[in-house]
Amino acid sequence: MAAKKKKGDAVVFLSAADIREFGIDELRAKLVEQRQQLMTARLKHAVAQLENTSALKGLRRHVARMATLLNEKELSGL
């Protein structure tokens, strides 16, 4: 019998176009949230509770993408 997927393991990634629509403050809040998800996924992976290990790579890239876009917005606002 296959293991059922837990609801908390689902990871949703926003496209770069969607991220660009956010304001700076909202983007900072989303980035903090994504970093917390990444930290939680890393902890689950360390104790062998993470079923979808490829989510780590996706989360890392998504955090980097959000940080890059936030940096672009902050620099263009100067």
> What range defines the domain where residue 62 resides?
22-76
pLDDT at 4: 43
Global pTM? 0.79
Instruction: Please report whether residue 29 resides in a domain.
Output: yes
CATH number for the domain that contains residue 37: 1.10.287
Residue with the two structure tokens 């970093």 = 35
Average pLDDT over residues 55-75: 95
pLDDT at 11: 66
Instruction: Please report whether residue 9 resides in a domain.
Output: no
Among 46, 19, 48, which Cα is nearest to 34's? 19
Q: pLDDT (tens digit, 9 = 90+) per residue, 28-55? A: 999 999 999 999 999 999 999 989 989 9
